[in-house]
């Protein structure tokens, strides 16, 4: 570990980014996307 250093901060950053991504995608409604795909397949 003395050669590579401490990467504890990167784990914290990764956790924060993952939480932000999860919160950012909560309002996405996939039902609209599925309906569009079905319409395109039927078309």
Q: What are the structural domain ranges in the chain?
A: 8-42
Q: Would you say residue 13 has pLDDT above 80?
A: yes
More confident of the two residues 16 and 6: 16
Mean pLDDT confidence for 17-27: 93
| Token representation of residue 22 | 């999860």
Provide the Cα torsion 10, 15, 18, 24; round to 10°.
-120
The per-residue b/e assignment along 25-40, b for 16 or more CB within 10 angstroms, e otherwise, is: eeeeeeeeeeeeeeee
pLDDT band at 43 (very low <50, low <70, confident <90, very high): low
Check residue 5 and give its pLDDT. Answer: 83
pTM: 0.54
d(CA 37, CA 42): 9
């Amino acid at each position: 570990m003395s050669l590579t250093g401490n990467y504890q901060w990167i784990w914290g950053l990764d956790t924060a980014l993952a939480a932000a991504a999860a919160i950012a995608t909560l309002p996405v409604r996939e039902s609209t996307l599925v309906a569009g795909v079905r319409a395109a397949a039927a078309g």
